[in-house]
Structure 1
């Protein structure tokens, strides 16, 4: 009885474990990310960190433009200042102050009479016509608070800075577009690399499966005395020689998958599988024609260079505007208090206000403005020469990619025919071997030729797709 109960418990435990395993396997299967080329591109454009940084750069340049516009608006500052007098200023007064003697002393207090006495001695003229003694003015503590308002009226350099900030926004947008073009190019080539590794892996697996069947057949014939032992050994060696190719193809597939995940901006641990094969693109490649317009007007590198030249031109104009006069206005409304103690409630605050206009005409600053203009002018000449070199390089790249596409199409047609012929030759060689007219060496050579033709065919498709992606990158748009 106890044995039966134990058996039942073991069966229940195994059932629970099997249920958990099945649930986990189903969850893993449903969580697997299945992607095609369009899905990979969409995920990369939304999740790749470089795309997010490019979008942030555009926003940053837009804020910079608003900041440039802010320089044309009034600047308002609340000012508070405290000064402690260490040594008071001495003031001297010259002139005839004899009228100070004509006053009635009875109308003044002793403290006022003392002050008048000090003023009289300070203002008393000496033989040279100047007062002998001065008078110290001011108090120990000086407090100032108020509002300072300034507004640029005519400042040409500020207007030019706004134009430069607008070019910065356009340049940031073009750089973001360039990042998208580069990312699409990288994702496409990584996706096609993964398909190539996947197809190569399947070719080697299929070859291994076919050769395994052949080895079993040869072993049976050897047991029947139909074929020699040499054929068994040769078939076995060929079968084992395929294993390193399978392992290498599997490793290349994993590397290509990791690279694609990195470009897509997803975690490397996320299970992913790609749909399709390189042969799926065979029909569409003959329907797509190379455009007649190869002027590269949409090339992002050239557009960025033109925007940089435009920015340098405006910087050159900005340097020349440093010679122009500027007109600014200002307004101050202040309160001041002077005292010798810190009894704030007894302070007396006296207001004063000033409004004014300042005209500044640059005359001489050691030649700095002149040499800054020369530097900006040389930078413009440098950009012109660099653009010529860039344009020549892009034209060469464009021609090479077009030539590669034509060559790869021819290779695809040739390898496609060779694949069919290799398969047919392999079947004929097998039949000859089964009838005793051929040897195992002929069979192995035919099998190797068929595998090589299959791989060349897929490599030709990959080379075409990679060259097409590079051509789209140079043109700046998708064909």
Structure 2
């Protein structure tokens, strides 16, 4: 990427960081490779895919943390507004002869009490932990594949949008040349009419053709601007920036490159890696449900200090605080869960079969997609050659018709008809060129060589 004001790349980046935008007079220039690289760094989908890889790395750390000591502290303070009452039988050593009731109310408690405790829990054995740790790492790998798939989609969209801009620019130049050509013919025909050597219908016929080409040029201008806006969206470039392409279609489509592309057998597809990783995740989920039949063992330790007092200020006296501590083990043994784990295992096995079927289908689809993309490119290249020849022939016919008309041995109708045929041939040529470029990108995608 370059600025037409000839600032260095570092200066441009520094200016963007400090000012937050480029002035309206500056135009950013991009090659195809620079457009793709910019999109990989700024496209919203690409940035989100990168963030997802960071989240997956954090999930691995979260899973590891479950196997580390879990330490928690607590503090409590209680003011007994009304001390609870307990009842004792009014008989035996507790009997109160002055109390006519058969029970005696007794208050056990103090006005204020508080406590501080620290609890440590440590997992000793849990089969799900080790499976979960491996699953977290596998998920991290899946997020990397998802990121690669997203980047491939971004590259595909940027390439197609970039080629669309270039095709529209060439169509724009050609339409302007057509307009200049028919404008010259209109002026010549008008001059002949004014001198009495041409009829009014001849002028009107050329004027109609002029208006048609003018309208077509307006459409092409609008399409060119729209294609640039779409390219900026795909790149993640702010809409208010002006861009210019510094490569031509000829630079990006050398004949030897097309030949190498058609002969390329293809490489790995990230879609297959995604499915295989999903299969691994379901396999781990199956293993996790299986190990849940095993018991789990946890150790715990608690240290606490408890204090009490009848008055708030006496609550904090050292002699009113006492220490307690205990160590324990907890063994959880699954006995019966209503066959829930068995049903989850059954679902996992079905999911594995489904993914295996998807893998087989994807493998076949990749073969068909490569064959179809290669065939489409070959056919579109043949069509492009035919349309290029038609455009050259139409141009030759127009020149001959114009010379004949100028020398007085041809009609104005022949010139206008030849010009109309030439414009149609040019439209067909650029339509074929666009199809060939899109099919080239499709073949690169099918072969796994978009990068």
Question: What is the CA–CA distance in structure 2 between the aligned matches of 1:265 and 1:236, rounded to whole Å?
Answer: 44
> Structure 2 residue aligned with 1:265, among 222, 228, 236?
236
CA distance in structure 2 between the aligned counterparts of 1:78 and 1:457, rounded to whole angstroms: 77
Deviations 1:220-252 (A, max 9, x none): 333343333332221122112211111111111
Return closer, same or farther for 1:89/1:477 CA change in 2, 3 Å cut-off.
Answer: farther
SS in 1 for 2:409: coil
Structure number, greater radius of gyration: 1
Distance across 2 between alignment mates of 1:29 and 1:59: 36
Q: CA deviation at 1:29?
A: 8.4
TM-score, length of structure 1 as denominator length: 0.80
Structure 2 counterpart of 1:243? 214
Find the partner of 1:71 among 58, 62, 66.
66
Between the two proteins, the alignment pairs up a number of residues equal to 418
- Hey, what's the Cα distance between the residues in 1 that align with 2:88 and 2:261? 93
Within 5 Å, which residues of 2 pair with 1:38-77?
38-77=33-72
Tell me, yes or no, if structure 1 residue 185 matches structure 2 residue 156.
Answer: yes
- Structure 1 SS opposite 2:197: coil
Deviation of residue 138 (structure 1)?
Answer: 5.3
Q: 1:444 Cα deviation (Å)? A: 1.7
Aligned residue in 2 for 1:302: 272
Contact residue 261 and residue 444 of structure 2 kept, 8 A: no
2:419 to 447, 452, 475: 447
CA RMSD of aligned residues (A): 2.8
Q: Is the 8 A contact 1:91 1:135 kept in 2?
A: yes
Structure 1 residue 291: deviation in Å?
4.3
Q: Distance in 2 between matches of 1:29 and 1:48?
A: 22
Q: How far did 1:330 drift?
A: 1.2
After TM superposition, list the pairs within 5 Å mapping 1:150-229 onto structure 2: 150-229=121-200
Distance in 2, matches of 1:165 and 1:28, equals 46
Alpha-carbon distance, 1:86 to partner: 5.0
Residue 335 of structure 1 pairs with residue 332 of structure 2? no
Which residue pairs with 1:24 in the alignment?
none
The 1-side partners of 2:447 and 2:50 are apart by 23
Structure 2 unmatched ranges of 5 or more: 1-21, 96-102
What secondary structure, in the 3-state scheme, does the structure 2 residue paired with 1:323 have?
Answer: coil
Per-residue CA shift, 1:73-94, capped at 9, x if unaligned?
Answer: 11111122346585356799xx
- How far does residue 404 in structure 1 lie from its aligned partner after superposition? 0.9
Answer whether contact 1:329 1:357 (CA < 8 A) is retained. Answer: yes
Unaligned runs of 5+ residues in structure 1 are 1-26, 93-117, 124-131
Match of 1:101 in 2: none
Retained in 1: the 8 A contact 2:83–2:108? no
Post-superposition shift, 1:355? 1.4
> Against the structure 1 CA distance between its residues 273 and 144, is the aligned structure 2 distance closer, same or farther, given a 3 Å change threshold?
same
Structure 2 equivalent of residue 87 of structure 1:
84
Contact 2:304 2:325 in 1 (8 A): yes
**Which moved further from structure 2: 345-354 or 278-287?**
278-287
Aligned to 2:3: none
Structure 1 match to 2:439: 467
State the partner residue of 1:373: 345
> Which residue in the other structure is 2:288 paired with?
318
Contact 1:405 1:467 in 2 (8 A): yes
Report the CA distance shift for 1:396/1:210 in structure 2 as closer, same or farther (over 3 A). Answer: same
Q: Which moved more, 1:263-272 or 1:177-186?
A: 263-272
Establish whether residue 401 from structure 1 lines up as the match of residue 396 from structure 2.
no
CA drift of 1:140 comes to 5.8
1:278/1:462 contact within 8 Å kept: no
What is aligned with 1:21?
A: none
Secondary structure of 1:290's counterpart equals: helix
TM-score by length of 2: 0.84
Distance of 2:28 and 2:166 partners within structure 1:
16
